[in-house]
Chains A and B, each alone.
Chain A
Amino acid sequence: AQTVTQSQPEMSVQEAETVTLSCTYDTSESDYYLFWYKQPPSRQMILVIRQEAYKQQNATENRFSVNFQKAAKSFSLKISDSQLGDAAMYFCAYRRGAETSGSRLTFGEGTQLTVNP
């Protein structure tokens, strides 16, 4: 079974600074997808970024980028120029790639990010 581990329950960053959230996963699959979702106090789960395992290039979305290390099974999220609105719980998630596997997401425990003004 696949597992996702986020070893940092809490992180804090100063506004305008950069922070990196860690995620490791365990799988025997070669085809899979990785995601970062954020969940602000409203509890709405919002997609931050997605990475396909077959792509060597790291995904980026504006101030958000990932460091995908397939051999190490590591998938960290870097937030640049942190803003107060980035404060949220961040979840790393894994999904198998085969269509027959369905869309089931396996989530990590989450990292609570605080942004200090």
Chain B
Amino acid sequence: KAGVTQTPRYLIKTRGQQVTLSCSPISGHRSVSWYQQTPGQGLQFLFEYFSETQRNKGNFPGRFSGRQFSNSRSEMNVSTLELGDSALYLCASSLSVVDTQYFGPGTRLTVL
């Protein structure tokens, strides 16, 4: 089985722009979670989707949003980018919400 894929792998944006990141889970996995990783804050949970419904959301401003499609693929969007949004964004998928999560390679976002 193919692993979790994330596109694009690298992204450079300027402040004020918006960005959309994509995540394709392992085939058959219906739960997708997103995490932000920065040197200062470490790994922080953004949100979780299961069967197209957002089940949990972390402590991030409303500029961060996401969605999940019927094929379980997920996208996250960040609007009005700030310098502090520069980070590695990791997506993880699992069969269900109680199963082990498997991570994708991440998208490295740089905001200039």
Contact = CB atoms under 8 A, between A and B. Distances in A.
Interface of A: 35, 37, 42-47, 50, 91, 97, 99, 101-110
9 contacts: A43-B105, A47-B100, A47-B101, A101-B97, A102-B50, A103-B94, A103-B101, A104-B33, A109-B42
- Which secondary structure dominates chain B's binding surface? strand
B21 interface: no
Interface of B: 31, 33, 35, 42-43, 45, 48, 50, 55-56, 58, 88, 90, 92, 94, 96-106, 108
* Residue of A50, A104, A106 most packed against chain B (CB within 10 A): A104
Given A43-B108, A105-B45, A109-B42, 8 more contacts: A42-B105, A45-B92, A47-B101, A101-B56, A102-B56, A103-B31, A103-B94, A105-B43
Contacts, number: 59
Nearest to B90: A45
B75 to A, nearest CB: 18
Contacts of A44: 103-106
B33 A103 contact: yes
Closest 8 CB pairs of A and B: A45-B103, A107-B43, A102-B56, A103-B97, A102-B55, A104-B45, A44-B105, A102-B97
